[in-house]
Amino acid sequence: MRGLLPILTVLAAIVAIWYAAVAPMNIRGALDVAERAGAEVMPTESLARFERPIWRLMVDNPQYIALGYSLDRPRLPTPVQVGSELWKTTGEMALNGRAFSKRSLIYHGWITLHSTLWGFALGTVLGMAGAIAIVYSRVVDMSLMPWAIISQTVPIVALAPMIIVLSSQVGIEGRTVPKAIISAYLCYFPVLVGMVKGLRSPGAAQLDLLQTYSASGLQAFLKLRLPASMPYLFTSLKIGIAAALVGTIVGELPTGAISGLGARILIGDQFGTPLAIWAALFAAAILAGVLVTLLDLTQRATLKRMGMQA
Amino acid sequence: MSWLVFALAFWIGAWALNTYLANSRWRGSLFVRVLVPMLFGVTLIVLWEGIVRGLGVSPVILPAPSTVAQTFAASTDILWEDFRQTVLKGALSGFAIGVLAAFVTAILIDRSAFLTQGLLPIGNFVAALPIVGIAPILVSWFGFDWQSKAAVVVVMVFFPVLVNTVQGLRETDAMQRDLMRTYAATYFDTLLKLRLPAALPFVFNGLKIATTLALIGAIVAEYFGSPTRGMGFRISTGVGSLSIDLVWAEIAVAAMAGTAFYGLVAWAEKRVTFWHPSHRRS
Q: What is the mean pLDDT of chain B?
A: 86
| Cβ-based neighbours of A68, under 8 Å, separated by 6 or more | A22, A23, A25, A26, A27, A29, A30, A74
**Which of A149-153, A214-218, B34-38 has the highest mean predicted lDDT (pLDDT)?**
A214-218
CB count within 10 Å of CB B206 equals 25
Q: What is the pTM of this model?
A: 0.85
| Cβ contacts of B259 on chain A, cutoff 8 Å | 150, 153-154
Partner residue facing B118 (CB), from A10, A143, A255: A10
pLDDT confidence band for A298 (50 / 70 / 90): very high
Q: How many helices (H) does chain A have, and how many strands (E)?
A: 14, 0
Distance in angstroms (rounded) separating the CA atoms of residues A249 and A264: 10
| Cβ contacts of B132 on chain A, cutoff 8 Å | 157, 246, 249-250, 253
| Cβ contacts of B232 on chain A, cutoff 8 Å | 157-158
| Cβ contacts of B15 on chain A, cutoff 8 Å | 139
Nearest chain A residue to B249 by CA distance is A158
ipTM for the assembly = 0.81
Q: What is the DSSP string of A133-188?
A: HHHH-HHHHHHHHHHHHHHHHS-HHHHHHHHHHHHHHHT--SSHHHHHHHHHHHHH
What pLDDT, on a 0 to 100 scale, did the predictor assign at position A255?
Answer: 61
Partner residue facing A249 (CB), from B22, B132, B212: B132
Distance in angstroms (rounded) separating the CA atoms of residues A238 and A293: 9
Partner residue facing A143 (CB), from B40, B130, B134: B40
> Is residue B106's pLDDT more than 70?
yes
What pLDDT, on a 0 to 100 scale, did the predictor assign at position A256?
Answer: 61
Using CA atoms, how far residue B16 sits from A173, B12, B20, B36, B235, in Å, is 39, 6, 6, 11, 38
**CATH code matching the domain that covers B72-279, chosen among 3.40.50.261, 1.10.3720.10, 2.60.40.10, 3.30.365.10:** 1.10.3720.10
Interface test with A, best of B137, B205, B212, B215 (most A CBs within 10 A): B137
What pLDDT, on a 0 to 100 scale, did the predictor assign at position A124?
Answer: 94
Fold adopted by A105-305: MetI-like fold (1.10.3720)
CB pairs under 8 A between A and B: 168
- Residues A145 and A135 sit within 8 Å (Cβ to Cβ): no
Distance in angstroms (rounded) separating the CA atoms of residues A1 and A259: 40
Domain boundaries, chain B: 2-57, 72-279
What pLDDT, on a 0 to 100 scale, did the predictor assign at position A2?
Answer: 66
Of the candidates A21, A114, A124, A121, which has an alpha carbon nearest to the alpha carbon of residue A75? A21
What pLDDT, on a 0 to 100 scale, did the predictor assign at position B122?
Answer: 87
Nearest chain B residue to A159 by CA distance is B251
pLDDT confidence band for B89 (50 / 70 / 90): confident
**Would the CB atoms of A155 and B130 count as touching at under 8 Å?**
no
Partner residue facing B133 (CB), from A7, A138, A281: A281
Q: Which residue has the higher pLDDT, A309 or A149?
A: A149
Section A150-159 average pLDDT:
79
How near does any CA of chain B get to the CA of A147, in Å?
Answer: 7
What pLDDT, on a 0 to 100 scale, did the predictor assign at position B158?
Answer: 92
In chain A, residues under CATH classification 1.10.3720.10 are 105-305
Section A199-212 average pLDDT:
88
> Is residue A1's pLDDT more than 80?
no
Phi/psi for A260 (5° steps) reads 115, 160
10-39 of B, contacting A, C-beta below 8 A: 15, 18-19, 21-23, 27, 32-33, 36-37, 39
Distance in angstroms (rounded) separating the CA atoms of residues A221 and A227: 9
CB count within 10 Å of CB B135 equals 32
- Residues A49 and A43 sit within 8 Å (Cβ to Cβ): yes
